[in-house]
């Protein structure tokens, strides 16, 4: 049974910085420990759960799609949800609705949802701790 | 004849885990294959790209695992050996970071900051990344 609820605010878009790698490493640990996790994916981060992301081959590496096995953040989001569930926790992944709409990335990983700043306020009020990882 | 282009790469380790390479070095390698004539200068934090034997573990999220994590030393060696791109590393930036010449991948050339103006003059274009 989870005893803690952690809220993360992410802002970076996929494929642009190392911030998200750090965030996913932390989220993975939290999910393995069975914590309840809230994520508010704001601005560019609203594209993290976009389901139409597709891996690609890498001609510079000389690798086809399978060999390159290019990561997609939508797969990482789906894996996070599954890992939390396996360990008795849950993930409330909220993608900022306006951010999603302006980017046209409104097809989201099942189990995640659209939301607003009011949802972030509720997540912050309900959590034990908050980590915001802003875009720099 | 392609324009000789000097590329000063200073931004380092930006999204290399997600892209599984450095996007600028990748772009230069791809352009070279299309006939471009690039020289690369690694400066600032990017000098670390030339240090041999580096590499981070792939990202793991639950059952999902990254299998092709980036190896920046391998990518620098590829530029030199296979792409025939001259790769220069700024000596003062190595010194500031405590990196010895013997730690670098074979084929890169260490140059002083003082030589950069001459390099600028030798190239038709200079790009700062």
Q: Which domain holds residue A118?
A: 5-133
pLDDT at B109: 98
The pair of three-digit structure tokens given for residue B92, joined into one six-digit string? 């003062």
Domain span at B101: 4-128
Q: How many CB pairs under 8 A join A and B?
A: 71
Q: What is the pLDDT of residue A3?
A: 77
Tokens of residue A12, six digits: 């970076």
Tell whether ipTM is more than 0.85: yes
Contacting residues of A for B59, CB less than 8 Å apart = 21, 24-25, 71, 76
Q: Residue B1: its pLDDT value, please?
A: 87
CATH number at residue B27: 3.40.1260.10
CATH number, domain containing residue A43:
3.40.1260.10
Instruction: Report how far residue A135's alpha carbon sits from residue A19's, in angstroms, rounded to the nearest whole number.
Output: 8
What pTM, to 2 d.p., does this model score? Answer: 0.92
According to DSSP, the residues that pair with A114 across neighbouring strands are A95
Q: What is the pLDDT of residue B15?
A: 94
The CA angle B94-B16-B108, to the nearest 5 degrees, is 35
- Cα–Cα distance, B62 to B42 (Å, whole number): 36
Mutate to test the interface with A, among B16, B23, B62 (most CBs of A within 10 A): B62
Counting the structural domains of chain A, the total is: 1
Distance between B119 CA and the closest CA of chain A, angstroms: 27
What Rg do the C-alpha atoms of chain B give, in angstroms? Answer: 15
Residue ranges of chain B with pLDDT lower than 70? none
Sort B88 into a burial class: Cβ within 10 Å, 0-12 / 13-18 / 19+: buried
Which residues does chain A have with pLDDT short of 50? 2
Q: How many domains does chain B have?
A: 1
Q: Enter the tokens of residue A96.
A: 């900022």
- At residue A17, the pLDDT reads 92
């Amino acid at each position: 049974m989870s005893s803690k609820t952690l809220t993360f605010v992410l802002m970076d878009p996929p494929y642009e910085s190392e911030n998200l790698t750090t965030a996913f490493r932390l989220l993975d640990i939290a999910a393995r420990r069975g914590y309840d996790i809230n994520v508010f994916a704001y601005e560019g981060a609203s594209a993290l759960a976009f389901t139409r992301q597709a891996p690609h081959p890498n001609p510079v590496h000389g690798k086809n799609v399978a060999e390159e096995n290019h990561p997609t953040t939508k797969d990482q989001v789906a894996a996070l949800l599954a890992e939390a569930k396996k360990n008795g926790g849950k993930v409330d992944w909220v993608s900022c609705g306006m951010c999603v709409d302006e980017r046209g990335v409104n097809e989201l990983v099942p189990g995640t949802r659209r939301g607003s700043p009011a949802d972030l306020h509720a997540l912050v009020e309900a959590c034990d701790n908050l980590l915001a990882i802003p875009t720099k | 004849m392609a324009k000789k282009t000097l590329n000063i790469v200073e931004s380092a380790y930006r999204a290399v885990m997600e892209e599984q390479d450095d996007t600028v070095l990748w772009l230069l390698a791809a352009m070279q294959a299309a006939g471009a004539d690039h020289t690369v200068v690694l400066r600032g934090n990017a000098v670390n790209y030339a240090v041999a034997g580096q590499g981070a573990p792939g990202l793991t999220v639950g059952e999902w695992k990254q299998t092709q994590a980036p190896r920046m030393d391998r990518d620098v060696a590829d530029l030199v050996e296979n792409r025939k791109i001259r790769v220069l590393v700024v000596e003062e930036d190595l010194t500031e970071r405590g990196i010895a010449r013997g730690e670098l991948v074979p084929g890169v050339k260490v140059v002083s900051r003082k030589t950069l103006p001459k390099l600028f003059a030798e190239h038709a274009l200079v790009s700062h990344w």
